[in-house]
Amino acid sequence: MPRTRQPAHPPRGRRSTEGARRRLPRVTLGRIFGATAAVIVGTMAAVVAAGGSYAYLNASAVVGQTGAAVTAGTSTLLVQRGSDAAAATVVLPSSLFQGMLPGDVVNQTLTVLNTGDADLQVTAALTGTSAWETRVAVGACPSSGTLPGGALTTVPSASGGLAAGTSAAICLQVVLPATAPASAEGTTTSFSLVLTGSQA
């Protein structure tokens, strides 16, 4: 994904474009790590995890003399960044979130794929909260400003439906609010963003 080169000393509160880096290391976003089966390599790694739910009952049966079998379907969510391979856990470059100043916005467009047999309703939730705000919305990331709606919490929030065998672009947005407390300076944070699909 192409990166936009930023000035060495951006004005305080300037909003970032997608993939932009900030050089000031005083206020940093540490890492967003996956809740399940995530491998964190190095420091400042960010992860988005997609947890597929097995919405069908596992069952098999012989019906009549034909020997027809009734088998279970599956539901699986995968996440893809750019041209990388789709996976249940995606590691984002740590440089995306370094040196964020109050008022900065970092966007990352991802693709969510439903590779299973069932239509899914997708929810998004965090495993913890911090001074940073995280939002997710269907569609490409905006060129400026924040996504509509409130920031994600630990309570699952509906993110829309995804039919079996289809995919959709989503925008992951991390914001350090202009009202962030002074105590956030020089700190890092860790939390998980988990996308979960349930049979529609």
177 to each of 101, 151, 181, 189, how far by Cα in Å? Answer: 9, 11, 9, 15
- Whether residue 44 is contained in a domain is answered as yes
| Residue of 128, 136, 123 whose CA lies nearest to 195 | 123
Task: State pTM to two decimals.
Answer: 0.67
User: Would you say 21 and 93 are in contact if contact means Cβ atoms under 8 Å apart?
Assistant: no
User: Can you tell me the distance from the alpha carbon of 119 to that of 70, in angstroms, rounded to the nearest whole number?
Assistant: 19
- Whether residue 54 is contained in a domain is answered as yes
Instruction: Provide the 3-class DSSP secondary structure of residue 178.
Output: coil
- Whether residue 12 is contained in a domain is answered as no
Torsion sign over Cα 6, 7, 9, 12? negative
- Looking at residue 182, the DSSP 8-state letter turns out to be G
- Whether residue 157 is contained in a domain is answered as yes
- Whether residue 14 is contained in a domain is answered as no
DSSP string, 141-157: PPSSSPPSSPPP-SS-E
Q: What is the residue whose two structure tokens read 């098999």?
A: 60
Centroid of chain to Cα 164 = 20
What pLDDT was estimated at residue 147?
94
Flag residues of the chain having pLDDT under 70: 1-73, 189-191, 200
What pLDDT was estimated at residue 139?
93
User: Can you tell me the distance from the alpha carbon of 82 to that of 94, in angstroms, rounded to the nearest whole number?
Assistant: 16
What pLDDT was estimated at residue 71?
59
- Whether residue 123 is contained in a domain is answered as yes
User: Can you tell me the distance from the alpha carbon of 152 to that of 193, in angstroms, rounded to the nearest whole number?
Assistant: 9
What pLDDT was estimated at residue 69?
56
Q: Which structural domain, as residue segments, surrounds residue 164?
A: 31-199
What's the total number of domains in the chain?
Answer: 1
Provide the β-strand partners of residue 162.
Answer: 120
What pLDDT was estimated at residue 10?
45
- Whether residue 164 is contained in a domain is answered as yes
